[in-house]
């Protein structure tokens, strides 16, 4: 039986499993966050990032908005993965938030998926497009019963409206500590954001 050669195996696996992967970023590299991303406190074991809008539905979490600037702290963060010849398959980078549209996030550190990072600086989109005209309950779904809506969002809170239904709108927001939440509020609690001014 011929012994396996890990030096030859790694490039073959890279070609088959990592097609389209983002390139490795070196320490000190400035990168832009290209998609709303969970900033993980520990390196995830899986290859795919969590969906922030599902993971933090009506509960707070560390989510970095699109357009934030980060500095890569460790180019070989993937070296902590088991199996040295296959470590390059890890798709996570350890970063520090250098600039965010949510000021409280500056200097946060954590793990971001490589697919959400693009080298260089890019203009940041506006993180909000509406505000609450009155206090509103944040619900996990558009069809939630009032008893399921445990969070109350104060009036005048800036929010980003994701989509609108007949009665409720899905929104996302960041609090004063920089933490993110997503959920549904009554459409009549919004001053704008559903394609028209809501009275």
Strands 37-38 and 130-131, by their bridges, are: unpaired
Confidence of residue 180 (pLDDT cuts 50, 70, 90): very high
Q: Would you state the pLDDT for residue 193?
A: 74
Token pair for 5: 């050669």
CA distance 30 to 177: 24
**3-state secondary structure at position 88:** helix
Helix and strand totals (H; E) in the chain: 2, 13
Q: How many residues does the chain have?
A: 199
* Domains of the chain, CATH where assigned: 24-119 (2.30.30), 130-189 (2.30.30)
Please say whether the beta carbons of 148 and 138 come within 8 A: no
Strands 180-186 and 158-164, by their bridges, are: unpaired
CA dihedral of 128, 163, 51, 62, whole degrees rounded to 10:
30
pLDDT digits (tens, 9 = 90+) for 54-106: 999 999 999 999 999 999 997 555 545 444 444 556 688 899 999 998 999 99
For residue 197, pLDDT beyond 70: no
Token pair for 160: 């980003």
Q: Would you state the pLDDT for residue 4?
A: 52
pLDDT digits (tens, 9 = 90+) for 4-55: 554 444 444 444 444 334 467 888 889 999 999 999 998 887 888 999 999 9
Strands 168-174 and 158-164, by their bridges, are: antiparallel
CA distance 173 to 160: 6
DSSP state of 162: E
């Amino acid at each position: 039986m011929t012994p396996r050669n890990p030096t030859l195996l790694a490039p073959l696996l890279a070609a088959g499993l990592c097609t389209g992967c983002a390139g490795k970023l070196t320490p000190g590299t400035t990168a832009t966050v290209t998609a709303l991303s969970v900033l993980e406190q520990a390196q995830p074991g899986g290859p795919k990032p969590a969906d922030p809008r599902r993971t933090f539905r009506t509960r707070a979490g560390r989510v970095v908005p699109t357009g934030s600037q980060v500095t890569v702290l460790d180019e070989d963060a993937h070296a902590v993965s088991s199996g040295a010849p296959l470590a390059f398959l890890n798709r996570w980078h350890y970063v520090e938030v250098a600039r965010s549209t949510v000021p409280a996030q500056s200097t946060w550190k954590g793990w971001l998926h490589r697919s959400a990072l693009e080298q260089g600086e890019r203009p940041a989109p506006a993180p909000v497009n509406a505000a609450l005209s009155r206090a509103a309950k944040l619900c996990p779904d558009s069809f939630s019963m009032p008893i399921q809506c445990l969070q109350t969002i104060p009036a005048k809170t800036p929010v980003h409206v994701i989509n609108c239904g007949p009665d409720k709108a899905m929104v996302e927001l960041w609090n004063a500590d920089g933490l993110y939440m997503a959920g549904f509020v009554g459409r009549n609690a919004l001053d704008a954001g559903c394609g028209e001014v809501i009275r």
